[in-house]
Amino acid sequence: MKMYEEGNWPPFRGDYLVGSPKSRIAVVTLASNLHIEGAAISGSCKTENLGVEKIVANIISNSNIRFLLICGAESKGHLPGDSILALHRNGIDENGRIIGSHGAIPFIQNLSAEVINRFRDQFQVLDRIGLEDEKQINLLVKKYSACGEPYPIEPFQVVRRPIKRMDPIIEGGDLLLGAGVIMNTSAWMVLTRGEIVPI
């Protein structure tokens, strides 16, 4: 059984560093810039929606990872650390809202309930929010990097949804931007000299 897709892991770009994909631990440093050694993947997360989605998608695509360490300073207002903990503990409601999160916009819009369930089942989350001491963090990473066995199910590959291309017909604008340039604010499109320009 493959534990991760060699050469294609992690699947989503972000502000992270890949260490040893065979390590059992991933680390989220929230708003702090910390040097982590020995983790499968480590990096920051400053938003409680898209940032959290990328973390979930990247780590469930590696069955070696069984622990997620959340450390560093929380991002004010967004509270991605709080949102990750709430997501792991409670999941999402029918509208995609992370149940129990105190973040500003804690909505998961691009991941299915199946993905969230896999995240909740595969990982043990280690809450060290606020911890910025690299020595202590790296000791935790060392402790958990070889703990336990890989998750006994193939890596879960999150597939990006194709972007829907819209071809709106703008009959007129409701905002004049200058000579010959109007905007249809409901479609968020600019019309200039007969051409539609997406913003």
Rounded to an integer, what is the distance from CA 167 to the centroid of its chain?
30
Mapped onto helix, strand or coil, the DSSP state of residue 136 is helix
The residue type found at 12 is F
Which of 51, 27, 161, 158 is closest to 106 using CA atoms? 51
Count the Cβ atoms, other than its own, within 10 Å of residue 192: 15
Mapped onto helix, strand or coil, the DSSP state of residue 197 is strand
Lookup: tokens for 117: 């369930």
* pTM listed for this prediction: 0.79
From first to last of its 199 residues, the chain has per-residue pLDDT tens of 788 888 889 999 999 999 999 999 999 999 999 999 999 999 999 999 999 999 999 999 999 999 999 999 999 989 999 999 999 999 999 999 999 999 999 999 999 999 999 999 999 999 999 999 999 999 999 999 999 999 999 999 887 554 444 444 445 566 666 666 676 666 666 666 555 445 4
CA distance 142 to 134: 12
Q: Give Cα separations from 117 to 12, 19, 70 (angstroms).
A: 19, 26, 19
